[in-house]
Amino acid sequence: ARRDIVTFLRRLAVSFSSMAEQKDIALTFNGTPLTAERGDPAIFAYFDSDKLEKVFYNLLSNACKFTPAGGSVRITMGVDSGAEAAGKVEIQVANSGPGIAAEKLPYIFDRFYQAEDDGGAAYEGTGIGLALVKELVALHHGTVQAESVPGTETVFRVTLPLGRAHLSDEHIIEAPVMPEADAIEPTPEAAVSEPEAAAAAPTSTDASADDEETLVLVVEDHPDLRDFIREHLAGTYTILEAENGAAGLATAEAHIPDLVISDIMMPEMNGYDLCAALKSNVKTSHIPVILLTAKAGTEDKLEGLETGADDYLVKPFDPREL
């Protein structure tokens, strides 16, 4: 489908922000922190979002894994008009760190070859491997290359064609996965910015949904991550949104969702307190709660489960886990 690849990648990158913060890694998107206001111009391309998500989830996982504390991971994008009428988009995922030895670089995309950084750690990624990364990029008529300066940084460069000349008609789905307006504008938050407003009406991907449709409440203070979760669930569920725990509690009490997915670290009311409040209210105590956090320690999980949470998902997570 034709979509804005800038918004797509930014939302995916946001899911790594907690991991980066925990490791003291500077994670930037086109030269600015992910916490900065969104202002990048849209770049529309035809791509399979599921396949490209696997590609960049793998590359970002490796980048964060091999970046030492105090290092940086940089995602940059640009359009190369080149000789083609439609041009190409180039995406770079770069990370500081020990790098990959020059003699290993030619083989890192080969099947069954397990590359290591100069510290001896293997590029295991998410299990799909760099060989499949190359195959998935090739399915888009694109290329992926790696460069590394040992002791300094490693850069993976993905180049994808724009336009549709490289595609046959049967490979094109004209209907966009999300409205194009949403590709460059943040999700309206007026309906959930205050508890009173949240109780008045849900922010939903399907305003005409009947009362029997499954409702999922997403409580997350970071708008990009909220968009990322909503986009993956909207095809199956009606999504309610809230930007903090207090607004989430008001929304849950007003609309009684079938599931609550909540971040832990939020202003006004954190995820632990939200979960405890929901479980102590007879109206909402039956609602399953999934907590999202970057903390993977046993004590942190126990704290979440002790508040009544039904499950605990560590960021960054594969959307299929939800």
The residue ranges of every structural domain in the chain are 2-171, 186-321
Q: At what angle do helices 298-306 and 271-280 cross, to 10 degrees?
A: 30
- Between the CA of residue 172 and those of 47, 48, 189, what are the distances in Å? 9, 10, 33
pLDDT at 194: 37
231 — pLDDT class (breaks 50, 70, 90) = confident
Taking the C-alpha atoms of 291, 296, 299 and 302 in order, what is their torsion angle to the nearest 10 degrees?
30
What would the CATH number be for the domain defined by 186-321?
A: 3.40.50.2300
Count the alpha carbons within 13 Å of 238 in the hemisphere toward its beta carbon.
Answer: 17
- State the fold for domain 2-171: Heat Shock Protein 90 (3.30.565)
pLDDT at site 68:
93
Region 106-132: mean pLDDT is: 64
* CATH topology identical between 2-171 and 186-321: no
Residue 27 has pLDDT above 50, yes or no: yes
The predicted pLDDT at position 37 comes to: 66
The mean pLDDT of the chain is 79
> Does the pLDDT value for residue 262 go beyond 90?
yes
Separation between Cα atoms, residue 182 and residue 1, nearest integer Å: 15
Q: Please write the tens of the pLDDT for every residue from 173-229.
A: 654 444 433 333 333 333 333 333 334 344 444 444 444 588 999 999 888 888 888
DSSP 3-state of 262:
strand
pLDDT-based confidence at 298, cuts 50/70/90? low
Distance of CA 52 to the CA centre of its chain: 12
Ranges 110-124, 165-179, 235-249, most confident: 235-249
**Is the pLDDT reported for residue 156 higher than 70?**
yes
